[in-house]
Structure 1
């Protein structure tokens, strides 16, 4: 999202979630998981694992680190009598909770099954989502202070911003904070945003829900532009009218959301290749700065390279040229320096004008980088 988080919002979110943790988690441990059904505003019908208590069900998943969704109006975990949640309409206040919970458990599943990562901090703890946060609040943000995502309902309090890609984007900020700790400024901030867009896209493809067909568009279902267009396009970032397709010396001075286009474009080229194509009925046309024709290596392979670069080689000050070095090192580790995947990484960076420099690839010391805990990563 485009707005910065205020200090008051952070403190309010931390206080809210502290009260919920004290009130809700004590009983959940003694209760049992149950399979429910949710009807989200954006997600349609989805399965939900909930917690059965003596008298009701909690929107808390004991099989995924107690991932939980909270009603920001009452500061309590969402509950239901029959384990059928929401009706797909924003007027039913559970519907936004369905979207938020499904996004959170989809992130859990993607990182667990792709990278054996259990939760944002890899500590087995799920995230907490707060829906109906604030009043007339047109934003979503992640806070490390509470390990939570906070979702506004839009300027009219009737359009919750609980799409799966926005939720996954925000939760990934927490993963970035817990690993590389990319500073939220300059090119490191751009890489922070790009990392969130990349894994939001991967989570969306992994979840593969009919109501939100997987794509390389960010935030299109939230309709924050008011005309049905997404916030960002990964195949050709300049389609939004402000983001660059290629690196230049002006990139470090851009807003991180805008400068993230370089990393997003790189990832699309690496995963899918250049030129026109149709994926899930959506048309894309990804250019290259040098006119090169690229063949994608597949999104799962591309994501594995980015994840290893993020968790092993990137640091708080990594810029785009250092990211080139980091992803080449990750590709070398996973597939070998003589592999087609390694060559594809270099070609994709060159295609977005992040060219090689006389900097050696970093050596892997056997340990993953860890970042700072307790800092806020805004959307």
Structure 2
């Protein structure tokens, strides 16, 4: 949990740690760099210490007690000496916190766009909106949701105008055996209970899978008498469940083995998956509200259950983002949010190296039942080595990128990562030719997946902030490469070269 620290008093908990205390002192000593005002407070989100003692402390900002959207920052220091800060807020805050419109008026403004079929009681709370280059605004943060949508609207608290909106659904102890839909026969760690076993993994923070359908067993953890799960077919409801559970366990292992991260929130606690959601629901999503992944079964015609390895890794990586940079799901930061999940979900697939779901740079290809893009041997939801193959995503950066749907603007980040890792030479993955063409006509070799992933993850966890765009991502990944491999390393040159190849300069 984040702990509020501000003014002269230090709250109990994480705020008492020497690391956080030092970082807060540096914020106070560098108010201009932190864009700090007298009314600011700070919430500790995360703290990372490098092997050489460099400290990175991530704060969320408040203003007169209100959360500041886009006000987060990361303080970087060593031996108590300030090095730099990662921040996107443009100026210090100076505004009234008295709204001109009431919460129910803000809900009406948001509801006019969302529709009248929202579920439950609308949630509206005051915040300061500090994204973008204009002056910060007092705003109502309104959440509206129903079975198929969960939206946040930022409504100007002076005139009721919607300033921004984004989706909150980030869409895509016993030894058991799972007969999965996409990954063949795989081992699973399950939990012994009276009468058999349940689909819960005590060795990985207790992560578990439930029935998310409208059946009488909905909401229950899957159970089995003989610890052999699924039948390789959708006719057995447990099959998709073990795909989701297997994907979650592989994702856990990837983050722990490669990045030293213990679970989504880095607190050794497992999330959970719910499968068979909705009716003919052709999507999957992560939700912070439940700390869980949700998977639909698809329509059975164009797309099947969305529980393949890269999709489970994708959804759980949305959770990792929410507990690190927390990239806002709108504009260029939203595109980076989706790219982050495609990138790290793909690295989960490579880490698993499953012979039935061989790794590649296509997203969700196992779930496609009918040709939806490209030639018959290139069916996928997205193509990291050639984003434009889906007919909607750009390969090259342009100034209007932030106006695209985040699933399409992610193409720039996806293409950058592919070029950084693999270079420009034609390669074959899963029997499909991956032959990229750069936007500036350059050709070069890659640095390898492991190096590229380490650079990306460090940028995400140490340097990205909630409003980082593509220019900021370039700077952050270059700095991350310098941290890991040295300021004059070939890896730093490669990162800059790969961004230039997608026209992010």
TM-score grouping bracket, smaller chain normalisation: 0.7 to 0.9
Match of residue 28 from structure 1: none
Q: Which has the higher helix share?
A: 1
Task: Please point out which of 170, 173, 184 is paired with 1:44.
Answer: 184
Whole-angstrom CA distance in 2 between matches of 1:65 and 1:135: 30
The unaligned stretches of length 5 or more in structure 1 are 13-32, 356-379
| Paired residue secondary structure (2:247) | helix
Task: Please point out which of 173, 182, 193 is paired with 2:318.
Answer: 173
Task: Please point out which of 111, 135, 138 is paired with 2:279.
Answer: 135
How far residue 348 of structure 1 moved from its aligned partner, in angstroms, is 0.3
Task: Please point out which of 364, 368, 381 is paired with 1:219.
Answer: 364
Task: Please point out which of 147, 153, 158 is paired with 2:291.
Answer: 147
Task: Please point out which of 96, 100, 112 is paired with 2:256.
Answer: 112
Match of residue 90 from structure 1: 234
Match of residue 334 from structure 2: 189
Whole-angstrom CA distance in 2 between matches of 1:11 and 1:138: 13
| Paired residue secondary structure (2:479) | helix
| Paired residue secondary structure (1:172) | helix
> What's the RMSD between the two structures over aligned residues?
1.9
- Larger RCO, structure (CA 8 Å, separation 6 or more): 1
Q: Trace 1:295-374 onto structure 2 (pairs within 5 A).
A: 295-355=445-505
Whole-angstrom CA distance in 2 between matches of 1:138 and 1:254: 21
Deviations for 1:203-248, whole angstroms, at most 9, x for unmatched residues? Answer: 0011111111100000111117644610111111111111111101
How far residue 135 of structure 1 moved from its aligned partner, in angstroms, is 1.9
How far residue 253 of structure 1 moved from its aligned partner, in angstroms, is 1.0
Larger Rg: 2
| Paired residue secondary structure (1:286) | coil
Deviations for 1:52-98, whole angstroms, at most 9, x for unmatched residues? Answer: 12311011000000010101232100000000000100000110011
Q: Do residues 7 (structure 1) and 145 (structure 2) align? A: yes
**Count, aligned residues:** 332
Deviations for 1:7-58, whole angstroms, at most 9, x for unmatched residues? Answer: 123899xxxxxxxxxxxxxxxxxxxx11010011112111100001231101
Whole-angstrom CA distance in 2 between matches of 1:171 and 1:230: 20
Task: Please point out which of 194, 197, 211 is paired with 1:57.
Answer: 197
Match of residue 243 from structure 2: 99
Q: Do residues 67 (structure 1) and 217 (structure 2) align? A: no
Whole-angstrom CA distance in 2 between matches of 1:276 and 1:118: 36
8 Å CA contact 1:37–1:85 kept in 2: the answer is: yes
How far residue 280 of structure 1 moved from its aligned partner, in angstroms, is 4.8
Match of residue 19 from structure 1: none
Whole-angstrom CA distance in 1 between matches of 2:335 and 2:380: 18
8 Å CA contact 1:131–1:151 kept in 2: the answer is: yes
Structure 1 residues 38 and 54, CA gap change in structure 2 (3 angstroms):
same
The unaligned stretches of length 5 or more in structure 2 are 1-113, 115-142, 151-172
User: Structure 2 length as normaliser, TM-score?
Assistant: 0.64
